[in-house]
Amino acid sequence: MKAVIVTIGDEILIGQIVDTNSGFIAKCLNKIGIEVNEMLSISDDKKHILDTLSNLQNKFDLVIITGGLGPTKDDITKKTLCEYMNDTLVYNNQVLDHVTQLIEVFFKRPITQINKDQALVPSRCEVLFNQVGTAPGMWMEKEDTVFISLPGVPFEMKYLIENQVIPKLVEKFDRPYIIHQTLLTYGVGESLLAERIEKWEDNLPDFIKLAYLPNPGRVRLRLSARGSNEEVLKKALEEQINLLKPQIEDCLVGLDDDEPLEFVLGRLLSSKGFSISTAESCTGGKIASVITSVSGASVYFKGSVVSYATEVKEDILAIPHELIQKESVVSSAVAEAMALSIQKKFQTDFAIATTGNAGPNKGDSDAEVGTVFVGIATPKGVFSEEFNFGQPREKVIDRAVNKGLELIYKEILKNY
Amino acid sequence: MKAVIVTIGDEILIGQIVDTNSGFIAKCLNKIGIEVNEMLSISDDKKHILDTLSNLQNKFDLVIITGGLGPTKDDITKKTLCEYMNDTLVYNNQVLDHVTQLIEVFFKRPITQINKDQALVPSRCEVLFNQVGTAPGMWMEKEDTVFISLPGVPFEMKYLIENQVIPKLVEKFDRPYIIHQTLLTYGVGESLLAERIEKWEDNLPDFIKLAYLPNPGRVRLRLSARGSNEEVLKKALEEQINLLKPQIEDCLVGLDDDEPLEFVLGRLLSSKGFSISTAESCTGGKIASVITSVSGASVYFKGSVVSYATEVKEDILAIPHELIQKESVVSSAVAEAMALSIQKKFQTDFAIATTGNAGPNKGDSDAEVGTVFVGIATPKGVFSEEFNFGQPREKVIDRAVNKGLELIYKEILKNY
């Protein structure tokens, strides 16, 4: 079975927006054993869309399209798909009721013609009802190819993929199994690692594929197995990993399942009944924001003080002026004092604190751009680590956020 | 002139990595008048790559490829391109010296065969020397199509695009001009806006294209003009914008080079010498995080209290227990009290506060999922507004963040 994901929209082609939808869809398809062979972004241009559709129909069994379903004139996906299907647009009553409800009850204004036309769909299409927005998803078939059209707004697309598309695909297609397993290694470069495990790699069975995913300071090894028997795949993967492990023992951190750390940490905190708070300087509230992106975070997260100005560190977190004078505001001592202060103030079991210089210019201290101290307060005490995350600002902040979550996660796993 | 950007790598097709390279390259090409017609992601598979290359050669003048140039076995772009060009791989001495230098001097270890092979290039290709990494870029031509192959590591790709690719493209191709201008509007939905400016849109000249870019709470209108005379384009764009402005006066925030509101707000605060703080419940620190994503935010942003737990609202922000009991924690009264409290505590001119229920379940109050109160404290007093941002959680949080920034931005513009 061959699948392609198409995004329609000039905003992607001019680099104004990065397409994150396709990756999300690919992950969901992979979980049900559908491999994505291509991703494609094309413009909001009728001829371009028509040419692409007929070209893809010859090559793929499944074409998932996002974008171009908005109510405005530049959104031409629906009309163009309808033309491609030799169909006509008709009003769908369920969608029309829903749109009317949304606009009149929810937004408290009269419905306009443009809004009503959101309920127009090709007469032969199957509507994928969009509970969370005004543009319905559409399922169409032409010869042996399934075309699915979804809105480009990420949360609407996600809703439809999870609640409508995946269940219907599972029902319609026989699929093989695809299993990925990623191993996270630290401290040995990609080429050295490759030479070391070359023999093992050469002996991998055909149905298992290896990929190297290098990042600064770490390499992930991804093994992908594909076949019709899930148990056989699992066993083969396990065997290969057992052969590999002794060869990379010194740099292997662990298996890695791609789930964001804030979810894993959240589950760990909940299960142990621990609470947490943060005191953030250079991360500016982003650790708190990432923690609270998980629904149900209120069970373990009490809050944060973002002490961006030095005076807030002194006045609200009660960090002694002398300590800041003596050690500098970007220091191990201040990170630890911040962590202890917020832990006490918010009466939590654990606390994360950050102080650093995210750049691009030097701030209230002389610390090099990229320097960050992360402090961790625990029921047994406090510790901190120093990092230099380089540049640019965005990367420094994100790496500090990840490091804060990672340090506390590892600490709890190890000692609690 | 038609251009396509191709990324090679299974990590993108399984959704493990989001492709940000193509957007960067598209932006750079746009600046020199080259429009990107398609973006494509394909797998590390020889046949797939060969088929794609020959298919693209018929349709495009310029094919820019990223990825698959690493030293490991899964990186097959170079070999495959060489085969497609009917060429053979030869060592390039300049690259070999550079790789040797990097490994031996910088990484302080002996060079391996895998490293040396990074210096292999197709004999007829023009090497795009990569000062910042071991994989060279390559410029090849077949019939009338230019193929450029670049490493997928973002900073190496960026270095080569800026220092090698763009200068060479400028020299080789005659190009038209492409100018984009984006207008940022707040508070009027996409469909209402579209109806309001329909006549103006219908009268746009052919060489100017309009796109609606909706985000929760705001819509950006992007005008793109394309032609051979830069001055004519600029003048035509200006005329159209002048015609448009009076029709959207009430919701227009300003022209923007895709500039997010936090940057515009930051400049406004700086220029007027105002300071700001936030007290956040349902937004969980994200307003602070967005504000501090702007470098130099420390000039106007002092900090935040994320009072996620009700007890933090009482203990740290000193919101009276009775007020919360009487009005409920998700209420106008509490939002205003939070704003006034943080304004006073952090001694700032303005403050933003949020309290609400982001869902998916009800929290410490009976408020409907999606209900958010935003409180704004100013030097002259305090006010608040109630919203219902629907679902899901992610959208509620993002809309509350945008609304907080918008309310304070408009308030300062209007009254200060």
**Shortest alpha-carbon distance between residue A125 and chain B (Å):** 24
The per-residue pLDDT for range A48-90, each reduced to its tens digit, is: 999 999 999 999 999 999 999 988 888 899 999 999 999 999 9
Q: Give residue A395's identity as a one-letter amino acid code.
A: K
**Shortest alpha-carbon distance between residue B126 and chain A (Å):** 25
- Give the residue range(s) of CATH 3.90.950.20 domains in chain B: 261-415
> Which of B20, B288, B364 minimises the CB distance to A306?
B288
Cis peptide upstream of residue B360 (ω within 30 degrees of 0):
yes
- Among candidate residues A131, A41, A121, the one with its CA nearest the CA of residue A89: A121
Whether the per-residue pLDDT at B374 is higher than 60: the answer is yes
- Among candidate residues B288, B271, B260, the one with its CA nearest the CA of residue B406: B260
Average pLDDT value over all residues in chain A: 91
Average pLDDT in the A266-273 region?
92
Q: Please judge whether A14 and B26 are an interchain contact, meaning their C-beta atoms are less than 8 angstroms apart.
A: yes
Looking at chain B, which residue has its C-alpha nearest residue A189? B107
- Are the C-beta atoms of residues A134 and A118 closer than 8 Å to each other? yes
DSSP state of A136: P
The domain B261-415 is classified under which CATH number: 3.90.950.20, 3.90.1150.10, 3.30.1300.10, 3.40.50.300?
3.90.950.20
Residue tagged 């769909």 (tokens): A121
Residues of chain B contacting residue A398, judged by C-beta atoms under 8 Å apart:
none
Average pLDDT value over all residues in chain B: 92
Average pLDDT in the A380-393 region?
90
Q: Please judge whether B289 and A293 are an interchain contact, meaning their C-beta atoms are less than 8 angstroms apart.
A: no
Whether the per-residue pLDDT at A259 is higher than 70: the answer is no
Question: Crossing angle, helix B393-415 and helix B261-272, to 10 degrees?
Answer: 30
> Which of B258, B284, B392 minimises the CB distance to A292?
B284
Q: Please judge whether A23 and B44 are an interchain contact, meaning their C-beta atoms are less than 8 angstroms apart.
A: no
Residues of chain A contacting residue B42, judged by C-beta atoms under 8 Å apart:
37-38
The CA-based dihedral angle spanning residues B293, B296, B299, B300, taken in that order and rounded to the nearest 10 degrees? -30
- Alpha-carbon distance A308 to B346, whole Å? 11
Q: Please judge whether A293 and B397 are an interchain contact, meaning their C-beta atoms are less than 8 angstroms apart.
A: yes
The two tokens of residue B178 are 């492409």
Query: Who has greater pLDDT, A242 or A259?
Result: A242
Q: Please judge whether A258 and B16 are an interchain contact, meaning their C-beta atoms are less than 8 angstroms apart.
A: yes
Residues of chain B contacting residue A393, judged by C-beta atoms under 8 Å apart:
293, 295
Residues of chain A contacting residue B395, judged by C-beta atoms under 8 Å apart:
155
**Cα dihedral sign, A85-A86-A89-A90:** negative
Q: Give residue A148's identity as a one-letter amino acid code.
A: I
**Shortest alpha-carbon distance between residue A217 and chain B (Å):** 13
* Other CB atoms within 10 A of residue A360 CB: 13
Q: Identify the pLDDT of residue B262.
A: 93
CA atoms within 13 A on the CB side of A215: 12
CA distances from B389 to A120, A132, B70, B359, B407 (A): 25, 11, 46, 10, 15
Q: Identify the pLDDT of residue A81.
A: 97
The two tokens of residue A65 are 């399209």
Q: Band the pLDDT of A216: cuts 50, 70, 90.
A: low
Q: Please judge whether A39 and B303 are an interchain contact, meaning their C-beta atoms are less than 8 angstroms apart.
A: no
Three-state SS at A238: helix
CA atoms within 13 A on the CB side of B303: 27
Lowest mean pLDDT among A149-158, B212-221, B306-315: B212-221
**Shortest alpha-carbon distance between residue A298 and chain B (Å):** 7
Q: Please judge whether A211 and B27 are an interchain contact, meaning their C-beta atoms are less than 8 angstroms apart.
A: no
Whether the per-residue pLDDT at B105 is higher than 90: the answer is no
Q: Please judge whether B293 and A192 are an interchain contact, meaning their C-beta atoms are less than 8 angstroms apart.
A: no
Q: Please judge whether B285 and A298 are an interchain contact, meaning their C-beta atoms are less than 8 angstroms apart.
A: no
- Alpha-carbon distance A134 to A22, whole Å? 21
Q: Identify the pLDDT of residue B365.
A: 73
The CA-based dihedral angle spanning residues B364, B368, B370, B375, taken in that order and rounded to the nearest 10 degrees? -70
Looking at chain B, which residue has its C-alpha nearest residue A214? B153
How big is chain B by its Cα radius of gyration, in Å? 27
Q: Please judge whether B41 and A43 are an interchain contact, meaning their C-beta atoms are less than 8 angstroms apart.
A: no
Query: Who has greater pLDDT, A188 or B125?
Result: B125
> Which of A43, A72, A305 minimises the CB distance to B37?
A43
Residues of chain B contacting residue A389, judged by C-beta atoms under 8 Å apart:
none
> Which of B190, B284, B303 minimises the CB distance to A70?
B190
* Other CB atoms within 10 A of residue B325 CB: 9
- Give the residue range(s) of CATH 3.30.70.2860 domains in chain B: 177-256
Q: Identify the pLDDT of residue A187.
A: 66
Whether the per-residue pLDDT at B216 is higher than 80: the answer is no
Lowest mean pLDDT among B280-284, B382-386, B388-392: B388-392
> Which of B195, B295, B391 minimises the CB distance to A112?
B195
Q: Please judge whether A15 and B26 are an interchain contact, meaning their C-beta atoms are less than 8 angstroms apart.
A: yes
**Shortest alpha-carbon distance between residue B215 and chain A (Å):** 8
The per-residue pLDDT for range A91-141, each reduced to its tens digit, is: 999 999 999 998 888 777 888 898 999 999 999 999 999 998 899 999 999
Average pLDDT in the B6-17 region?
91
Q: How is A283-303 classified by DSSP, letter by letter? A: TTTHHHHHHTTSTTGGGTEEE
- Give the residue range(s) of CATH 3.40.980.10 domains in chain B: 3-172
- Alpha-carbon distance B119 to B129, whole Å? 11
CATH level 2 (architecture), domain A3-172 = 3-Layer(aba) Sandwich (3.40)
Whether the per-residue pLDDT at B108 is higher than 80: the answer is no
Q: Please judge whether B74 and A361 are an interchain contact, meaning their C-beta atoms are less than 8 angstroms apart.
A: no
The per-residue pLDDT for range B247-266, each reduced to its tens digit, is: 998 888 777 656 788 998 99
Q: Identify the pLDDT of residue B275.
A: 97
Interface pTM (ipTM) of the complex? 0.70
Whether the per-residue pLDDT at B2 is higher than 70: the answer is yes
- Alpha-carbon distance A44 to B391, whole Å? 28
- Alpha-carbon distance A147 to A133, whole Å? 20
The per-residue pLDDT for range B57-104, each reduced to its tens digit, is: 999 999 999 999 988 888 899 999 999 999 999 999 999 999 998 888
**Shortest alpha-carbon distance between residue A83 and chain B (Å):** 22
The per-residue pLDDT for range B140-198, each reduced to its tens digit, is: 999 999 999 999 988 899 999 999 999 999 999 888 888 888 898 887 888 889 999 99
Residues of chain A contacting residue B278, judged by C-beta atoms under 8 Å apart:
285, 306
Domain boundaries B177-256, corresponding CATH code: 3.30.70.2860
Q: Please judge whether A70 and B43 are an interchain contact, meaning their C-beta atoms are less than 8 angstroms apart.
A: no
Whether the per-residue pLDDT at A363 is higher than 80: the answer is no
Looking at chain A, which residue has its C-alpha nearest residue B29? A14
Q: Please judge whether A308 and B297 are an interchain contact, meaning their C-beta atoms are less than 8 angstroms apart.
A: yes
Q: Please judge whether B390 and A106 are an interchain contact, meaning their C-beta atoms are less than 8 angstroms apart.
A: yes
Q: Please judge whether B15 and A24 are an interchain contact, meaning their C-beta atoms are less than 8 angstroms apart.
A: yes
Q: Please judge whether A13 and B36 are an interchain contact, meaning their C-beta atoms are less than 8 angstroms apart.
A: yes
Interface probe with A: pick from B34, B72, B277, most Cβ of A within 10 Å: B72
